């Protein structure tokens, strides 16, 4: 899964509401996904206090804008124990942490529970050079859907058996995995982060789409190849939500 995701991402730079930011293909990006639930105490605040709390958080996010690419997703109703997910991307996980630590000190942050957090890094291509024909197709593919409205974040862990396969065996399995998914590049965007050692997962994949039926079919295609037999974690949790700018999230919270 990782190979063509990365290719796609480094080739197509339009992703997740930050179309202006291009991520260079070989600079590692440190991504942190933080899933927050708003505590009941928040609802006891006055409207003014809530507005002020959100403004503090917004000013903070703004102050980091040169260092952290910040995306937000509304998850309430679609993901258990949560209201929103944020994705932080920067040159170092410690910068992501700095933003999150300061967020916790804002009027909003004092009422937030960080229910789940996971970090990973982007990396160069592992397997693609070994199947240049598909690589060409991946490069040629373009997202042609309407602007994405849904986000799905899925952590994955591979078995020891996977990592003990030879490179050639893994190339063959990833090639088989890649073939049936090329068609979905038109309607589903994906980005991959490597998490081995940083989390109880090997990969974190984030998907954005406007079409949940296509997305469901894509993941079914990914389960119908042998590579899926080496996944010992797939989800746990699967985070499902909708794309919202931070201003939209703030407005939902301030209500």
**99 or 141: whose CB is closer to a second copy?**
99
User: For residue 213, which phi and psi values (nearest 5 degrees)?
Assistant: -70, -45
- 190 is annotated as an active-site residue: yes
Minimum Å gap between C-beta 7 and a second copy is 19
**136 or 223: whose CB is closer to a second copy?**
223
**62 or 200: whose CB is closer to a second copy?**
200
Instruction: Evaluate the omega torsion of the peptide bond into residue 31 and state whether it is cis, within 30 degrees of 0.
Output: no
The answer to whether 231 and 163 are in contact (CB under 8 A) is no
**CA atoms of 3 and 170, how far apart (whole Å):** 11
Minimum Å gap between C-beta 19 and a second copy is 21
**CA atoms of 206 and 32, how far apart (whole Å):** 12
**127 or 215: whose CB is closer to a second copy?**
215
Nearest to 201 by CA among 210, 214, 192: 192
**CA atoms of 99 and 208, how far apart (whole Å):** 24
- The residues, ordered by sequence, that sit 6+ positions from 106 with a Cβ below 8 Å of its Cβ are 53, 56, 57, 60
Minimum Å gap between C-beta 152 and a second copy is 6
Q: Which residue of the set 67, 190, 223, 233 is catalytic? A: 190
Minimum Å gap between C-beta 238 and a second copy is 5
Which residues participate in catalysis according to the annotation? 190
């Amino acid at each position: 899964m990782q190979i063509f995701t990365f290719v796609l991402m480094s080739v197509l730079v339009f992703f997740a509401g930050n179309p202006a930011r291009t991520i260079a293909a070989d600079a590692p990006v440190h991504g942190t996904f933080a899933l927050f639930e708003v505590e009941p105490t928040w609802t006891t605040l006055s409207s003014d206090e809530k507005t002020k709390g959100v403004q503090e958080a917004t000013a903070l996010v703004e102050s980091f804008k040169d260092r952290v690419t910040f995306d937000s997703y509304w998850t309430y109703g679609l993901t258990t124990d949560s209201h929103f997910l944020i994705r932080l991307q920067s040159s170092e996980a410690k910068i992501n942490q700095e933003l999150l630590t300061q967020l916790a000190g804002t009027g909003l942050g004092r009422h937030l529970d960080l229910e789940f957090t996971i970090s990973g890094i982007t990396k160069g291509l592992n397997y693609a050079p070994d199947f240049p024909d598909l690589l060409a197709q991946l490069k040629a593919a373009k997202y042609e859907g309407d602007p994405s409205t849904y986000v799905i974040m899925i952590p994955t862990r591979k078995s020891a058996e996977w990592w003990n396969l030879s490179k050639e065996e893994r190339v063959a399995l990833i090639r088989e995995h890649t073939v049936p998914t090329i068609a979905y590049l038109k309607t589903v965007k994906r980005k991959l982060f490597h998490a081995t050692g940083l989390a109880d997962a090997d990969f974190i994949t984030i998907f954005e789409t406007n079409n949940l039926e296509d997305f469901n079919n894509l993941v079914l295609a990914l389960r119908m190849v042998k590579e899926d037999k080496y996944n010992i974690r797939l989800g746990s949790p699967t985070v499902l939500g909708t794309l919202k700018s931070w201003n939209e999230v703030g407005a939902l919270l301030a209500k």
